[in-house]
Structure 1
Amino acid sequence: MTENPSATVESADGKYAQLIKARIHEWAAGEPAEVGGTDKGPTPYELLLSALGACTSITVEMYAERKGWPLEKVYVTLEHSKEERAGENDGKPVDMIDRIVRLEGPLDAEQRAKLIEIAEKCPVHRTLTNQITINTLLG
């Protein structure tokens, strides 16, 4: 992983369309038509979920490879929601992410359990479950 990852985002053609750049890669983001966008790419929450899913899958693959385990494929499905919980978070909805990890390959139950434990340790998971400080500056 890049030591200090960075990305740039700029407005693009189309309502709410965005152009994202990181290293040599470019991709789009936006909002779907039902909220007034032009659906030029995934929404910001879809990008957040995809970052967590990619990190989860890569972390699990790397661990299995180091151990020499017969992992053939990883599937990660993620969904974001907001839940209201009485008595928690000062009455504000709590952000929830459901992550389902499916592992293919002739792994035994102990290996599968360990890989799910490792999924909880991917760097993006740790970032999202840690206290985050975001400094917003005018450029």
Structure 2
Amino acid sequence: MEVTTHRGTGPLQQVIEIGPHRILTDVKPEFGGEDSGPEPHDILAAALAACTTLTVSLYAKRKGYPLDDIKVSIKHGQEGAAYGLHRTIEYIGALDDETKARLTDIANKCPVHKTLSGTIQITTEAI
């Protein structure tokens, strides 16, 4: 899968194209944008939240756990030299503490969590 970006209609708006899908990203007016879409770090946090929800939901369904819903929120921002992502998971359903702990272990194995927790290599080619 290839992701591409190009300038949108606003001064800093970018159009992200992921296959047939399009997402806008922008920054707040105080930074020169129009706030017409989430900022890039918000999209990163959303990817972690969505991957967590999908991974846990699929696992719970496969195991027959009574997970009625799952809500994931991510607070994020610069914390000194590191960028922090603080994830809160709310399990909705008749789940005991042991099952919730197992689901949290599974959440930590979602592909985006593993990517962000591992070594990331970025190569850049300017043309």
TM range (shorter): over 0.9
Identity of matched residues, %:
39
Q: Secondary structure at the match of 2:102?
A: helix
Q: Paired residue for 1:26, among 22, 25, 32?
A: 22
Aligned to 1:61: 57
The runs of 5 or more residues in structure 2 that have no matched partner are none
Deviations 1:20-45 (A, max 9, x none): 11122111111111211011100000
- Partners of 1:104 and 1:29 lie apart in 2 by 31
Q: What is the number of residues matched between the two proteins?
A: 127
More strand by share: 2
- Partners of 1:103 and 1:24 lie apart in 2 by 32
Runs of 4+ in 1 over 4 A off after TM superposition: none
Normalising by structure 2, what TM-score?
A: 0.95
Aligned to 2:105: 117
- Partners of 2:12 and 2:31 lie apart in 1 by 10
Q: Paired residue for 1:10, among 2, 6, 17?
A: 6
The runs of 5 or more residues in structure 1 that have no matched partner are 85-92
Q: Secondary structure at the match of 1:134?
A: coil
- Partners of 1:68 and 1:117 lie apart in 2 by 17
Deviations 1:105-139 (A, max 9, x none): 11111111100111111000110111111111124
Q: Paired residue for 2:92, among 104, 110, 114?
A: 104
- For the aligned residue pairs, the C-alpha RMSD in angstroms reads 1.0
